[in-house]
């Protein structure tokens, strides 16, 4: 189930990135006191009480031409309107209401989305009175906040979370495998989607997805039900959208959230570029099952070693996806396309696999006996018990004497041993160390 989405909108230099960092709890965006400086990652995950949600910082979108700032504000607002469940409209208490603020307000009025007006830079009680003039924007009670001092963030998130749509159960059920094709533009996502559906010719229906206008296409093969979550059918409103990488990332993130399996599509002719790794990284961090799909294999000049060399290159570039299977296909000629759905089914099953506790403990005990944990300042990690606490992705908790003694290299060793014993091809697994409370050491 996808998290609800919060977008932060406002003219340049009102403090959007600072608030974004406060909410996601990490300095993920570059913050500097001048307009248009946001250059870094703009998509994170926030949490307030028991609600987890995605956060979009729309700052830093550059547009060439006249009235750059005004156009940027317009694009940011339109992105937020299309992608978000709730929009935080940020303004600056020190600057007061500006023409750019009024421009954003006009766009947001037409969105029919819940809007929360946040007045930033209310750094002390003396500035509290400065929020009243913002009532003129017509969004009800403004929330006074200070990004630099962390004032009012909880109040803001409480209002936001109360406006998120109610959670609903997955409309398809656990037996349906939902997969999304992601990748940079022009790698062949649309062609591959059409080839998969055209080959099967058993489309049940085209229905609008319940989550923010994504288009879901259910179909069935050999008794297995699938849903393709389409990221290629986005509405394009001119070159601004076509050329905005951040917009495509937002679209991909929406699809990733809803999918069980993510197909990372790479152009076999052009090879791997940095953006491929960024996009794949989002899917990995989201804990989704992943298949790397090399498309356009029909037009690659090759010999008997080309596929092996390309596989090695992928493994070198995608070290964090060592678990992901690689499938070489051609959407245009349907070459090897028949191999794709069985791989998707297999990694979806691995993603949802639950291991018996006794078998899991046997594997970990054998691994520890064969290669004991190293000592650290005379102390040695002792693993008392292991249990699986979640699926999609599989999460394992190790109850140990001292969690801080778990070195990342030993955790990776245990990861490899668990994979060797139970498979888990195509899915990340998470290993968490917790102190055994009854341990007296």
Q: With 0-12 CB in 10 A as exposed, 13-18 as middle and 19+ as buried, what is 116?
A: buried
User: Is 11 annotated to bind ligand?
Assistant: yes
Each residue of 223-254: b (16+ CB within 10 Å) or e? eeebbbbbbbebeeeeebbeebebbbbbbbbb
How far apart (Å, rounded) are the C-alpha atoms in residues 69 and 399? 54
Q: Tell me how far apart the alpha carbons of residues 226 and 202 are, in angstroms, rounded to a whole number.
A: 11
94 is in an annotated binding site: no
**188 has binding-site annotation:** yes
Residue 374, marked binder: no
124 is in an annotated binding site: no
Q: Is 184 annotated for ligand binding?
A: yes
Q: Is 190 annotated as a binding residue?
A: yes
Query: Is the peptide bond prior to 43 cis by the omega test (within 30 degrees of 0)?
Result: no
393 is in an annotated binding site: no
Is 71 annotated in some ligand binding site?
Answer: no
122 is in an annotated binding site: yes
57 is in an annotated binding site: yes
- Ligand-binding annotation for 44, yes or no, is no
The reply, when asked if residue 276 is annotated as ligand binding, is: no
Q: Does the annotation flag 387 for ligand binding?
A: no
* 138 assigned ligand-binding residue: no
Residue 180 corresponds to which tokens in the numbers above? 């999304």
DSSP letter at 126 equals: G
Residue 61 assigned to a binding site: yes
189 is in an annotated binding site: yes
332 assigned binding-site residue: no
E-state strands within 200-339: 207-208, 215-221, 224-230, 261-267, 289-295, 326-328
186 marked ligand binding residue: yes
Which residues is 185 bridged to in the sheet? Answer: none
Strand partners, 220: 225
Q: What phi and psi values does residue 207 have, to the nearest 5 degrees? A: -125, 145
- Closest by CA position to 137, among listed 163, 104, 159, 93: 104
298 in a known ligand binding site: yes
Determine if residue 13 is labeled as part of a ligand binding site. yes
Q: In the 3-class helix/strand/coil scheme, how is 266-277 assigned residue by residue?
A: EECCCCCCHHHH
Q: Does 121 count as an annotated binding residue?
A: yes
Tell whether residue 15 is among the known ligand binding residues.
yes
Q: Is 174 annotated as a binding residue?
A: no
Q: Is 296 annotated for ligand binding?
A: yes
Q: Is 59 annotated as a binding residue?
A: yes
Q: How many CB atoms lie within 10 A of CB 291?
A: 24
Place of tokens 């041993």: 417
Residue 10 labelled as part of a binding site: yes
* 25 annotated binding-site participant: no
- CA distances 426 to 263, 332, 353, 354, Å, are 10, 25, 12, 15
Enumerate the known binding-site residues for GTP: 10-17, 57-61, 120-123, 183-190, 230-234, 295-298
Annotated binding site: 10-17, 57-61, 120-123, 183-190, 230-234, 295-298
């Amino acid at each position: 189930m996808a998290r609800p989405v919060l977008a932060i909108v406002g003219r340049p230099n009102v403090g959007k990135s600072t608030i974004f960092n406060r909410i996601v709890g990490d300095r993920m965006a570059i913050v500097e006191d001048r307009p248009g400086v946001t250059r870094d990652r703009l998509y994170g995950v926030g949490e307030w009480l028991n609600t987890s949600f995605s956060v979009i910082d729309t700052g830093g979108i550059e547009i060439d031409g006249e009235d750059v700032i005004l156009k940027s504000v317009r694009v940011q607002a339109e992105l937020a309107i299309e992608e978000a469940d709730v929009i935080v409209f940020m303004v600056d208490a020190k600057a007061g209401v500006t023409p750019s603020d009024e421009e954003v307000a006009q766009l947001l009025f037409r969105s029919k989305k819940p809007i929360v007006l946040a007045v930033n830079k209310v750094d002390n009680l003396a500035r509290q009175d400065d929020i009243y003039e913002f009532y003129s924007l017509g969004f009800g009670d403004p929330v006074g906040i200070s990004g630099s001092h962390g004032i009012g963030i909880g109040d803001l998130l409480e209002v936001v979370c109360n406006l998120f749509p109610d959670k609903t159960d997955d409309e398809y059920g656990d037996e349906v495998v939902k997969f999304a094709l992601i990748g940079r533009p022009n790698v062949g996502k649309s062609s591959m989607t059409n080839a998969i559906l055209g080959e099967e010719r058993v489309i049940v229906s085209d229905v609008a997805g319940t989550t923010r206008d994504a288009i879901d296409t259910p179909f069935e093969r050999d008794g297995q039900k699938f849903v393709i979550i389409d990221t290629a059918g986005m509405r394009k409103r001119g070159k601004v959208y076509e050329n905005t990488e951040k917009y495509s990332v937002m679209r991909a993130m929406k699809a990733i959230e809803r999918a069980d399996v993510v197909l990372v599509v790479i152009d076999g002719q052009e090879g791997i570029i940095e953006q491929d790794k960024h996009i794949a990284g989002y899917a990995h961090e989201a804990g989704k099952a992943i298949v790397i799909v090399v498309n356009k294999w029909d037009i690659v000049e090759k010999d008997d070693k080309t596929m092996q060399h390309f596989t090695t290159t992928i493994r070198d570039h995608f070290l964090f996806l060592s678990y992901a299977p690689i499938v070489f296909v051609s959407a245009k000629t349907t070459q090897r396309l028949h191999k794709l759905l069985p791989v998707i089914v297999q990694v979806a099953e691995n993603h949802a696999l639950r291991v018996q506790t006794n078998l899991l403990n046997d594997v970990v005990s054998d691994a520890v006996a064969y290669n004991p944990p190293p000592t650290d300042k005379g102390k040695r990690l002792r693993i008392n018990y292991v249990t699986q606490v979640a699926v999609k992705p599989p999460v394992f908790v190790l109850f140990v004497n001292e969690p801080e003694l778990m070195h990342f290299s030993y955790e990776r060793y245990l990861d490899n041993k668990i994979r060797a014993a139970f498979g888990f091809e195509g899915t990340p697994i998470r290993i968490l160390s917790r102190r055994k409370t009854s341990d007296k050491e």
